Structure 1
Amino acid sequence: MSTSEGSSGHSAGDFAAVAPETKKQSKAKVSRTSMILWHAHQNDVVAVRKLLEEDGALVNARDYDSRTPLHVASLHGLIDVAKCLIDFGADVNSFDRWKNTPLADAEGAKKHSMIELLKSRGGLSYGQSGSHFEPKPVPPPLPKKCDWEIDPTELDFSHSSIIGKGSFGEIVKAGWRGTPVAVKRILPSLSDDRLVIQDFRHEVNLLVKLRHPNIVQFLGAVTDRKPLMLITEYLRGGDLHQYLKGKGALSPARAVSFALDIARGMAYLHNEPNVIIHRDLKPRNVLLVNSSADHLKVGDFGLSKLIKVKNSHDVYQMTGETGSYRYMAPEVFKHRKYDKKVDVFSFAMILYEMLEGDAPLSHHEPYEAAKYVSEGHRPMFRAKGYTQELRALTEQCWAADTNKRPSFLEVLKRLEKIKETLPAEHHWNIFSS
């Protein structure tokens, strides 16, 4: 569902309900869970082993869908990571949300070497053999309900509050089975609009595929009754736009920490062969898990486009002014063909805003800012927080020549190196709601 520049794609909730713990313990658990799932996905055996040596319990850490690091390794055929996890005692027959074991995932993805490995270690093929990977998703409304179809009577709006508005609807904080959730609700007056329904179906079909610690978690949708609704986790920390408005310029350490979370989510979206171009990456669409601001997720995929690439340099036949002007890549503003590097440009603008404490080209109206950028201009660096390396990375990410913009995997590597050179954030615990 497309949204205006002032809208928010809220979604929410912490990783999962946790037993009574201190805030500090809970925060550390979320961070470590995120890290091991990420490093498993990136086939980084050294990082996975190091995390497990520090905390063996992480071997069976679970994300929102109860997927373990071994599920991730099995799905992508990452043999060395899987062997490492099993050596540390990973449960080879753990169930995820779909009642799939790691072996079921490997079978669904046709990872033959992984199938042999898991069977040799006692893996059993329960579940639905990777049934959550649909080669051709069925567009809702569906003739019969699937596992993510939500009965609207289960949604509790008695204490609801509006947390965002878009072109076609509103985002409401509500309750679902005792848990706060974010509900994107199509306006009743537009529920019969063919294009609006098409947009809604597209977003549902996109979100149902996504599972990553730095991507807002899809929980379900109402597709066979009006109003149409899309339900995601509710993130208690609000969006990055609100956060920066209150905090101003961030320390380099905090800005880099935030940038790493955003880049991890975007690297997942840009993973081939199913590249997802966000097309509206901006602070309002980056959400904070909680008021401690220790974990970010990328959200609002109303304008996203799923592309199957034939090679890594494909340029897509997508033109037009899509997204929000202030963070828009010049090639989009000029109605030229573009690729996934438009998201890298938007990321540079966000990084600039985090370090400067002010929106890029804030003295221009959004449209004028986009026009100014399309003419070759860029925001001026003023903040002292810009190290030479951070400035160089930002300039490359917003380069006019898209070939000079790095991929998000490259951005991650450079940010990790920059992080090592920065002084630690000493006041992490002073952030409060």
Structure 2
Amino acid sequence: MSGEGGTSESSGSGTSSPAATSKGGAAAEKKQKQKQKARVSRTSLILWHAHQNDAVAVRKLLEEERSLVHARDYDNRTPLHVASLHGWIDVSKCLLEFGADVNAQDRWKNTPLADAEGAKKHIMIELLRSYGGLSYGQNGSHFEPKPVPPPLPKKCDWEIDPLELDFSNSNIIGKGSFGEIVQACWRGTPVAVKRILPSLSDDRLVIQDFRHEVNLLMKLRHPNIVQFLGAVTEKKPLMLITEYLRGGDLHQYLKEKGSLNPSTAINFALDIARGMAYLHNEPNVIIHRDLKPRNVLLVNSNADHLKVGDFGLSKLIRVQNSHDVYRMTGETGSYRYMAPEVFKHRKYDKKVDVFSFAMILYEMLEGEPPFANYEAYEAAKYVAEGQRPVFRVKNIPELKELTEQCWDHNMSQRPSFLEILKRLEKI
């Protein structure tokens, strides 16, 4: 008699039982998945170290696995593209030494040299040309191109003298590729200061993005939107000043608390939806494009009020028609909360924010990020293929139904934030 998962052996036979074959197949598949996951992780790692100008870490990775020199991100960009754009000479020399393709093209047909020329990195341009680098594509076209930075409106109301900012007891509350967010004091009031790295304060594309964010934030007035207070635009480093919210972000809150009870989740969802309904108001629609728990802030430690923040990737669109679909680049936002149409580089509209909202609602109810067991890129890929996270929490059928409608693969089937508000209020 054979037990579970085992069979009696046949003398002289080398054949495996169906159960053993099945087990072996499953094990091989699992191993393959793990191998693939590790590969994705190492690809992300070399691109990250190239971005951070860490030549030692890049060399170590290449010595372990030489083929990583040809790694590509979702926009087909190589580590050499990344290093060339920022002008990281040591990283680029290391990559070229390990056989990087100097004329690799990203999805816009840009070579590393085209990127270096777009960013005016003159030493990098010379280096790449010495290795046979050629220019293709449009310089810097992986950024949504604007020929010149938008003019800043009249500054008298909001231009802040940097001497008024007190950094004596400051602490860093966030970091990004262009700078850091610091808690400081302005006229006796705690504020959050987004400070651009001095080395990037002359970069045309960085100035363009900074001015865009200032132009956008100064127009916003809503109880569920982080309040803009002013900016430093006439001296370096460039700084953007907003109110400081003591409660931290929703990401950290959920990490500590786990799943929220339905009434708390509904109250949080209402605050987010109110802020987003305001942003999506026509004729001037603001698409956030990076709605995620880290960009939702708690006003205080009691967590009784939330605000939507970080508009660095947002776009202000003057709507001609309420069903307009926008031609925008598809790499924008954070993978784990990204709508499938964005991941696939398709045309999209404001409903991308509704999809991200659904992922946040799921996380609040379940107490863990969607597809928590997968790398963020892998998770976005599964979502684009039509998969969705599985609900384990019971007794919330109305919230589950709302979440599933908000993450519908067809963006036209997703409800608007005004509809979401009505549904949440009823629940």
Instruction: Determine if the TM-score, normalized by the shorter chain, exceeds 0.5.
Output: yes
Q: Does 1:155 align with 2:138?
A: no
TM-score, with length taken from structure 1 = 0.64
Q: Give 2:234's aligned residue.
A: 224
- Displacement of 1:182 after TM fit? 0.1
Structure 1's unaligned 5+ residue stretches are 1-5, 7-136, 419-433
2:178, 2:151 → 1: CA distance?
A: 19
Q: Does 1:399 align with 2:408?
A: yes
**Is the 1:255–1:354 contact (alpha carbons within 8 Å) kept by the matching residues of 2?**
yes
Structure 2 residue identity aligned to 1:406: P
- Displacement of 1:139 after TM fit? 2.3
Q: Does 1:332 align with 2:342?
A: yes
Coordinate RMSD, CA, aligned: 1.4
Find the residue that maps to 2:415 and give its secondary structure.
coil
Deviations 1:30-67 (A, max 9, x none): xxxxxxxxxxxxxxxxxxxxxxxxxxxxxxxxxxxxxx
Q: Does 1:254 align with 2:278?
A: no
1:242, 1:377 → 2: CA distance?
A: 26
1:145, 1:369 → 2: CA distance?
A: 43
Of 213, 235, 238, the residue aligned with 2:248 is 238
Find the residue that maps to 1:338 and give its secondary structure.
coil
Q: Give 1:208's aligned residue.
A: 218
Q: Give 1:300's aligned residue.
A: 310
Structure 2 residue identity aligned to 1:377: Q
Q: Does 1:348 align with 2:371?
A: no
1:326, 1:399 → 2: CA distance?
A: 16
- Displacement of 1:145 after TM fit? 3.7
Q: Does 1:416 align with 2:425?
A: yes
Of 135, 141, 151, the residue aligned with 1:139 is 151
1:257, 1:202 → 2: CA distance?
A: 31
Find the residue that maps to 1:197 and give its secondary structure.
helix
Percent identity between the two aligned chains: 84
**Is the 1:149–1:223 contact (alpha carbons within 8 Å) kept by the matching residues of 2?**
yes
2:370, 2:425 → 1: CA distance?
A: 24
Of 341, 350, 367, the residue aligned with 2:377 is 367
Q: Give 1:174's aligned residue.
A: 184
Find the residue that maps to 1:290 and give its secondary structure.
coil
1:327, 1:235 → 2: CA distance?
A: 23
Which 4+ residue blocks in structure 1 deviate beyond 6 angstroms?
none
Find the residue that maps to 1:211 and give its secondary structure.
coil
Structure 1 residue identity aligned to 2:169: H
1:139, 1:223 → 2: CA distance?
A: 12
1:223, 1:211 → 2: CA distance?
A: 21
Trace 1:14-163 onto structure 2 (pairs within 5 A).
Answer: 139-140=151-152, 145-163=155-173
Deviations 1:224-282 (A, max 9, x none): 11000000000000000000000000000000000000000000000000000000000
Q: Give 1:195's aligned residue.
A: 205
Residues 403 and 138 of structure 1, relative CA distance in 2, 3 Å threshold: closer
Of 378, 381, 401, the residue aligned with 2:388 is 378
- Displacement of 1:416 after TM fit? 0.3
Q: Does 1:287 align with 2:297?
A: yes
**Is the 2:150–2:208 contact (alpha carbons within 8 Å) kept by the matching residues of 1?**
no
- Displacement of 1:146 after TM fit? 1.8
Q: Give 1:125's aligned residue.
A: none
Structure 2's unaligned 5+ residue stretches are 1-47, 49-148
Deviations 1:170-192 (A, max 9, x none): 00000000000000000011111
Q: Give 1:428's aligned residue.
A: none
- Displacement of 1:388 after TM fit? 1.2
Deviations 1:11-36 (A, max 9, x none): xxxxxxxxxxxxxxxxxxxxxxxxxx
1:369, 1:271 → 2: CA distance?
A: 30
Q: Give 1:266's aligned residue.
A: 276
Residues 145 and 406 of structure 1, relative CA distance in 2, 3 Å threshold: closer
Structure 2 residue identity aligned to 1:211: R
Q: Give 1:36's aligned residue.
A: none
- Displacement of 1:138 after TM fit? 6.7
TM-score, with length taken from structure 2 = 0.65
Q: Say which one has the larger Rg.
A: 2
**Is the 1:149–1:220 contact (alpha carbons within 8 Å) kept by the matching residues of 2?**
yes
**Is the 1:250–1:354 contact (alpha carbons within 8 Å) kept by the matching residues of 2?**
yes
- Displacement of 1:383 after TM fit? 1.5
Structure 1 residue identity aligned to 2:415: P
Deviations 1:65-123 (A, max 9, x none): xxxxxxxxxxxxxxxxxxxxxxxxxxxxxxxxxxxxxxxxxxxxxxxxxxxxxxxxxxx
**Is the 1:319–1:338 contact (alpha carbons within 8 Å) kept by the matching residues of 2?**
no
Deviations 1:283-311 (A, max 9, x none): 00000000000000000000000000011
- Which structure has more relative contact order (CA 8 Å, sep 6+)? It is 1
Find the residue that maps to 2:277 and give its secondary structure.
helix
